[in-house]
Structure 1
Amino acid sequence: MEEQAIVIALVGVLGIGAQWVAWRTGWPAIVLMLAAGFLAGPVLGIMDPETAFGGMLEPMISIGVALILFEGGLSLEFREFRKYGGGVWRLVIFGVPLGWLFGSLAGYYIAGLVWPVAILFAGILVVTGPTVVIPLLRQSAVQQRPAALLRWEAIVNDPFGALCAVIAYEYFRSTAATGGTAYEVVPEIAIAAGISGLIGFAAAWIIAWSFPRGFVPEFLKVPVLLVAVVGTFVICNKIEHEAGLLAVTVMGIALANMHVSSLRSIHPFKQNIAVLLVSGIFILLSASLDLDQLRQFEWQFGLFLLALLFLVRPATVLLSLLFSDVPWNERLFLAWIAPRGIVLVAICGLFALRLEDLGYADGTILIGLSFAVVVTTIVAHGFTIDIVAKLLKVKGATQPGIVIVGATQWTVALARQLHDLGTPVMLVDSSWQKLKPARAAGLPTYHGEILNEATEHNLDMTPYQVLIAATDNEAYNTLVCSEFAPEIGTDRVYQLGEGADHDDHRAIPSSLRGRSLFHSGFGVDDVQQRQMEGWEFRRTKLSDKFSVEDAREALPEAASMLMLVESDGDLRFFTHAAAPEPQPGDTIISYSPPRASTAEEKAAKRNGKGGNKPQPA
């Protein structure tokens, strides 16, 4: 019991620690997680998951994979499919059989595997998997269409890859036992897969029907959902091996498109669960690797890995997308990015022993070879995705962007300053008339209600890492901040302060509000009054010769510094609680009285101090 507790603690520390280091350094998180588990397990021998958990390790990992696939299915909306469905269905209908065929040929002729092992392994290789694709997409700002295609392919192809392996295994088992044919094996598995899909859909319908009607209290919704997913997975696996993966994927996609409003509150929880599961499973699998299996690695396996990267995947994607409307630069990008992850290793570990029982000695090689595929593809694609995206011009906005909710004189003026600096900015308002000045200034705008569910599909939030809610309604601004805080981060949502004349008895609780802009805590009424008085935004570029102290001297005493645009484009705000530390090369955006008063104050300073101050850039 004590050893199991230590392993669980180590898995958590190593997994989340690797995610944190990846966030700080920009390195691929999955690479760091694999390295951490490999060092802690086979290299240093600090932990041995198989000894600690024994027979429980495999079902633990299987249920974790099922929950990850369900969470991934919840992110797949048919509205997005209608935009990019032409590419998605080609990658599924054509990509799976083509990838299976090319992978089988490479396994037999290059890796030297016997046909049964090569065919089964190639079936598993058609998966890419959300556990590796989604962290890569989070790390690199890829344009919306190629990112959507990769995400849909990863989630939808995962269960199909598992089913391909089941078909191959059942065929070879049936042939060895009774001399059965494919006509006997395939229809049976197809029927089982169809039944599993229906069970997954039925489970989603029951949840979508019962939750809004109050049959499940709020505090039990998350536990009921988790139990339903695990139960569906186990039941369908009893019908056919690995059919549970298909069932939970269908369940997630169905729930996502039934638009159950009561599920919105669990989105932050499911995202946290996915991060914990991905981290934990990667650590467990890499720590379980046996060095003796790695020693079985032969030179032709290296050639097989190169063929997988440069022949199998490119041929599969380019042939699947032939005559499609996907541009060639995006096709080439998709042809390169195909990292493999948890599902590949988990299923290979399951079938390797079964193949050995059938008399195929090459079966045990699959465990080490599957890890080699995972490590190679994760390292190759994780460290090159940014480079390839830039070369093929599929890179999205690299500079952090900002969404401003509410089109007022103040927000339009702020958006113009940011736009001139090259910062991606989007003004959002439900009033077409209020957006007119922004459109006239050539600023990007979105006409719609930011809290409407349709906005999630019509407005791509990927380029924007900061949100400012600055409408005339302070309560609405608080609602927007509380809604987007779990998605963007509580330290990245802002609103105007409560103002100097706010009523303490009617004030909105600070726990609900976004961070207050301005050190002085200017409120909605304050900035409106100052806009009428002619206040304006000013940009001040800092340098080695012009410091932040010089900038403060150059501004009038009444001016307030609002934000800092760092040299790398990152955004930092001067708030009531904290202030960034400006460095040379940064640009300060301040809110200042009219230039006439500024000139008068400067003259007074010069007369009083007898010296000239450097002027802001």
Structure 2
Amino acid sequence: MTSEIVTHAAGLGPVMAFATVGAVGVGAQWLAWRLRLPAIVFMLIAGVIVGPVTGLIDPMRDFGDLTGPLISLAVAVILFEGGMSLDLHRLGDARAGVMRLVLIGAPLGWLMSTLALRLAANLSWESSAVFGGIMIVTGPTVIAPLLRSARLARRPAQLLQWEAIVNDPIGALAAVLAYGVVLVFHADLGLGEAALETGLGILFALVFGLASGRAMVWAFQGGRVPEFMKVPVLFVALLFTFALSDAVLHESGLLAVTMMGLVIGNADLPSYTELRRFKEHATVLLVSGVFILLAASLDISQLRLLNWKALGFLVAVIAIARPATVLLSLLGTKIPWKERAFIAMTGPRGVVLVAVAGLFGQRLADAGVADGAMIAPLAFLLVTVTVVLHGFTLAPLARALGLADTEKPGVLIVGGSRFSTRLGEALQKADVPVLIADSNHQHLIRPRAAGLKTFYGDILGEAAEDTIERLSYSNVLAVTDNDAYNTLVCTDLGAELGRANVWQVARQREDQRRHALPAQLGGQPFGAGRTFDMFRDMVREGWSFRVTRLTEEFTLAQWRALRPMAVPLLRISPKGEIGFIDKPEELKADAGVRILSLLPPDAGSDEAASVAVTEVDEKPDTAPGPVAPLP
């Protein structure tokens, strides 16, 4: 009794340990965002430091027997989020490839991984079959952030993301099947009895997950659940679906919640945006916590069990098993060879593999399989190596194969007008990619005539998501003649791109109290209080755009003195980063920064020879022409 009290006192305690896990996990993700490096690498390093290195967190000491259930529930929520992301309507030309990677790639990957474990790592056939099934998974929690940082083309990104999400529960079930066979040989269970039990469990998970998803759709669509209770009801239903299915057959709950998410994600619910944001926020927290817990649970003594055969196992999996699985699965498809090669060389593993491998490794050891204890350290090693390898090579590999957008992040301008066209021309001449979107075809005549990229349609519609590579545009400027639509665009896209990267022109009468909007609506103010009508009139009156580069000899103060009437609109850093300007008096810029401004008609030309100026040669329109309102 005394030793238990001392052991507990030496730890942080459940509450402080829980808070520490959250702080370390989210902090690692924030640091990775600041340094623009893969977040999972930082989470793994942070988990090892606070766990086995310093002993600050010991999951079994601080959480006890709740550690396993907590990780299982977190993985269930993560897979549910993945299922909700599988919109079957948007799969497009990646459909055939995804079907191949799932129907052919999953069993083939199971076989190849089993052989790699048996021949390279020298595990027993029992451990190889169970762990080989788990190795089908490729980690959706790892793939998604890597794809965002690599700015990958749509089809290979879809193939990798869908393969990861769909194969996650399949990998867990493959391990269940292999484990059932192992029990047949190590216990008194009959083969028929084990097969029947496993088959009924899988069938129950599929049916129950489908029924749970349909029940949620029925409740949400019919107004049977109030808006403020939809997220809590969904969360409770998710946990119940996972728990009940898992009670029937271990790990089948992962399949049930994935099916549930798939049904809800394809139901076109009016509240889908709110549900999606909730699950995304929950997933960030859960992924952080799970990785920290798993890394902190690592037993250093287990890693000492690894030898040179572990290196051979890694080479066999990364260089042979994965490429052979993908290339054979996609044989005969119309997918270009570069995309096949890229997918074949991309296979990072993630949280599901570590969690499930640790569980089954212990079960195999308890069932009398001596090398079952080797599964957990091999799984951690595989996840660490593949995450680090792909985290630092995915983007360069995509660029080398021509599958990534090599242009600098540009500006998406919502609303076609004279002002938008002139601004787009100035940005394009400054080597900043520009896309002008409008749902009125007539509004796009001028931008097209000026040689600018355009999108005809609603920027918030499904067609825009399927057509526009939004990762290619780091900033959005809403500058239509409809203030309400500008606010809607910035509010919706702000959740995806970041509220600091969406901007809109001033609204009419927004300075009046009765017309003021809450701070959480709309984007960042742009243009020092000027409305769309003001900017349109300025362009009609002959104001022109000018891009001026500051130097050591020609400073911002000199530019202000030379151009007292200039209206600075945005600044472009030497690295090509865009920053819109709302308060010109607070503008700060050093040498190398370019300032895009509006100059009055009588501004004349720059007299300073040291000023590097790129001037948009434009003539003011004499006939204003009609501007049709947005529908």
Calculate the TM-score normalised by the size of structure 2. Answer: 0.92
Pairing 1:368–2:377 present: yes
The 8 Å contact of residues 78 and 283 in structure 2, kept in 1 or not, is answered as: yes
Partners of 1:502 and 1:219 in 2: CA distance: 29
Q: In the alignment, which residue of structure 1 is the partner of 2:568?
A: 561
Q: In the alignment, which residue of structure 1 is the partner of 2:400?
A: 391
Q: Which amino acid aligns with 1:590?
A: S
Pairing 1:242–2:251 present: yes
Q: Which amino acid aligns with 2:603?
A: T
Q: How many residues in Structure 1 have an aligned counterpart in Structure 2?
A: 602
Percent of aligned pairs with the same amino acid: 42
* Gap change, CA 1:577 and 1:171, over 3 Å in 2: farther
Residue 96 of structure 2, aligned match among 66, 82, 86 = 86
* Gap change, CA 1:577 and 1:538, over 3 Å in 2: closer
Q: In the alignment, which residue of structure 1 is the partner of 2:137?
A: 127
Determine helix, strand or coil for the equivalent of 1:252: helix
Q: In the alignment, which residue of structure 1 is the partner of 2:611?
A: 615
Q: Which amino acid aligns with 2:559?
A: A
Alignment of 1:435-450 (within 5 A): 435-450=444-459
Partners of 2:414 and 2:362 in 1: CA distance: 57
Q: In the alignment, which residue of structure 2 is the partner of 1:609?
A: none
Partners of 1:185 and 1:581 in 2: CA distance: 71
Map Cα deviations across residues 292-325 of structure 1 (whole Å, 9 max, x no partner). 1111111111110111111111111111111111
Determine helix, strand or coil for the equivalent of 2:452: coil
Alignment of 1:513-528 (within 5 A): 513-518=522-527, 520-528=528-536
The 8 Å contact of residues 134 and 171 in structure 2, kept in 1 or not, is answered as: yes
Residue 598 of structure 1, aligned match among 586, 594, 603 = 603
Alignment of 1:206-605 (within 5 A): 206-498=215-507, 504-509=512-517, 511=519, 512-518=521-527, 520-555=528-563, 557-576=564-583, 579=586, 581-594=588-601, 597-599=602-604
Determine helix, strand or coil for the equivalent of 1:23: helix
Determine helix, strand or coil for the equivalent of 2:598: strand
Map Cα deviations across residues 15-48 of structure 1 (whole Å, 9 max, x no partner). 1111111111112110010000001100111110
The 8 Å contact of residues 549 and 611 in structure 2, kept in 1 or not, is answered as: no
Calculate the TM-score normalised by the size of structure 1. Answer: 0.94
What RMSD over aligned residues (CA atoms) do the two structures have, in Å?
A: 2.0
Determine helix, strand or coil for the equivalent of 2:471: coil
Pairing 1:194–2:199 present: no
Q: In the alignment, which residue of structure 2 is the partner of 1:21?
A: 31
* Gap change, CA 1:580 and 1:320, over 3 Å in 2: farther
Map Cα deviations across residues 183-229 of structure 1 (whole Å, 9 max, x no partner). 66446434422331221122111111211322111111111111111
* Gap change, CA 1:434 and 1:290, over 3 Å in 2: same
The 8 Å contact of residues 401 and 423 in structure 1, kept in 2 or not, is answered as: yes
Unaligned stretches of 5+ in structure 1?
607-611
* Gap change, CA 1:326 and 1:581, over 3 Å in 2: farther
Determine helix, strand or coil for the equivalent of 2:63: helix
Q: In the alignment, which residue of structure 1 is the partner of 2:119?
A: 109
* Gap change, CA 1:185 and 1:416, over 3 Å in 2: farther
Partners of 1:578 and 1:9 in 2: CA distance: 43
Residue 46 of structure 2, aligned match among 36, 41, 60 = 36
> 574-583 vs 458-467, which deviates more?
574-583
Determine helix, strand or coil for the equivalent of 2:354: helix
The 8 Å contact of residues 573 and 579 in structure 1, kept in 2 or not, is answered as: no
* Structure 1 residue 177: Cα displacement: 2.2
> 540-549 vs 39-48, which deviates more?
540-549
Q: In the alignment, which residue of structure 1 is the partner of 2:619?
A: none
Pairing 1:51–2:56 present: no
* Gap change, CA 1:270 and 1:111, over 3 Å in 2: same
Partners of 2:452 and 2:609 in 1: CA distance: 34
Q: Which amino acid aligns with 1:254?
A: V
* Gap change, CA 1:507 and 1:536, over 3 Å in 2: farther
> 322-331 vs 581-590, which deviates more?
581-590
Partners of 1:531 and 1:209 in 2: CA distance: 52
The 8 Å contact of residues 176 and 250 in structure 2, kept in 1 or not, is answered as: yes
Q: In the alignment, which residue of structure 2 is the partner of 1:155?
A: 165
Partners of 1:337 and 1:222 in 2: CA distance: 35
Q: Which amino acid aligns with 2:566?
A: A
Partners of 1:4 and 1:196 in 2: CA distance: 33
Map Cα deviations across residues 155-208 of structure 1 (whole Å, 9 max, x no partner). 000000001100000011023224744x66446434422331221122111111
* Gap change, CA 1:78 and 1:95, over 3 Å in 2: same
Q: Which amino acid aligns with 1:418?
A: L
Determine helix, strand or coil for the equivalent of 2:569: strand
* Structure 1 residue 458: Cα displacement: 3.8
Partners of 1:551 and 1:310 in 2: CA distance: 57
The 8 Å contact of residues 510 and 516 in structure 2, kept in 1 or not, is answered as: no
* Structure 1 residue 477: Cα displacement: 1.0
* Structure 1 residue 360: Cα displacement: 0.7
Determine helix, strand or coil for the equivalent of 1:446: strand
* Structure 1 residue 329: Cα displacement: 1.1
